[in-house]
Amino acid sequence: MGTTSKALSLLELFSRATPEIGLSEIARRAGINKATAHRLLGELAAHGFVEQVGPARSYRLGPAFLRLAALREASVPMRDAVRGVLRSLSDVTGETAHMSVLHGSVLDTIAYSYASAHGTQVRMEDAEKLLLHATSSGLAVLAWSAPDFVERVLAGPLVKRTPDTLTDPGEIRARLAPIRARGFAVSVGGFEADVHSHAVPIFDSASAPMGALAVAAPSARMCPDLAALIQGELLEKGARLTRLLGGFAPASFPAPQAA
């Protein structure tokens, strides 16, 4: 891993749960010594990607991200198109809807919407990373990805997030054909215990999966009627979102059924 990659990898340590991290903790989590961590963080700070705060001089993400996010949104206003679809999806299903985009071998959550129908909901984290082998979103993307990409992902390591996480490459491969046949993927407790999720792929202009649209519900609330509602809504709204983002579904992708 080059110096730039090492520095950028430190940024992935920050999350909503850990917005500020001290130097020693960053070094421990990254598996590097403090001197190297200090040097890399200094380079990131020089460009505004991190800054030090408080008496302990802990690190947090810097203002450069605000500028880059604004530039990105101005040139590719994806969230504007996504949010309306997510609100409609969560309102109709009564459950949490979210979209993620493919970034390397993981999915980055870019937007989500909560419904008000229930007090108990599946909660999302801003910019949460979803594993391809452990989520319905990831399985939906894998089902329509090029074989060489699928094999690179399945070569591992495949992290076992819960007792129900799929980590057997053969079992994951066997699930992809049925997903292609019906157009959506299902995961029960694979990424988070007691969460039942459905997802469909979102395609780019070359008909390659660029991300996924998903609905997640507490497993205790899932029933055949709710599952059927979610599946139909995802197929319809996934097709709409693909079109809004300038993409095209492959000719073999199942068409949404007319209401």
pLDDT digits (tens, 9 = 90+) for 13-22: 987 678 899 9
Q: What is the CATH number of the domain that holds 141?
A: 3.30.450.40
30 and 124: one domain?
A: no
**Are 140 and 41 contained in the same domain?**
no
pLDDT for res 259: 46
Q: Among 68-77, 101-110, 179-188, 225-234, whose mean pLDDT is lowest?
A: 68-77
Are residues 83 and 59 located together in one domain of the fold?
no
Is 34 found in the same domain as 109? Answer: no
Provide the 3-class DSSP secondary structure of residue 155: coil
256 within a domain of the structure (yes/no): no
- Give how many domains the chain has, as a whole number: 2
For the CA atoms of 61, 63, 68, 70, the dihedral, rounded to the nearest 10 degrees, stands at 120
Distance CA 87, CA 130 (A): 21
From 41, 66, 91, give the residue that closes a domain: 66
- Angstrom distance (rounded) from CA 6 to CA 44: 11
Do 149 and 218 fall within a single domain?
Answer: yes
CATH of the domain at 16: 1.10.10.10
Nearest to 81 by CA among 245, 256, 249: 245
35-57 pLDDT, tens digit per residue, is: 999 999 999 999 999 999 989 89
Is 258 part of a structural domain of the chain? no
| 84-113 tens-digit pLDDT | 899 999 999 999 999 999 988 999 998 999
Pair (136, 23) in one structural domain: no
Q: Which domain holds residue 24?
A: 3-66
Q: Which two tokens stand for residue 257?
A: 């059924």
In a domain, 38, yes or no: yes
Indicate if 156 and 189 belong to the same structural domain. yes
Same domain, 57 and 138: no
Q: What is the pLDDT of residues 216-256, one digit of tens each?
A: 999 999 999 999 999 999 999 999 999 888 889 998 898 76
- Does 102 reside within a domain? yes
- Reported as a pLDDT band with limits 50, 70 and 90, residue 131 is very high
The helix (H) or strand (E) run that includes residue 11 is helix 3-11
Q: One-letter amino acid identity for 147?
A: P
Query: Do residues 56 and 114 share a domain?
Result: no
Q: Give all strands (DSSP E) within 78-128, no chain letters.
A: 96-103, 106-113
Residue tagged 């029960």 (tokens): 188
* Structure tokens given for 65: 């991200």
Tell whether 34 is covered by a domain.
yes
Are 107 and 213 in a shared domain?
A: yes
Q: How far apart are CA 96 and CA 90, in angstroms?
A: 6
Give yes or no: residues 87 and 110 share one domain: yes
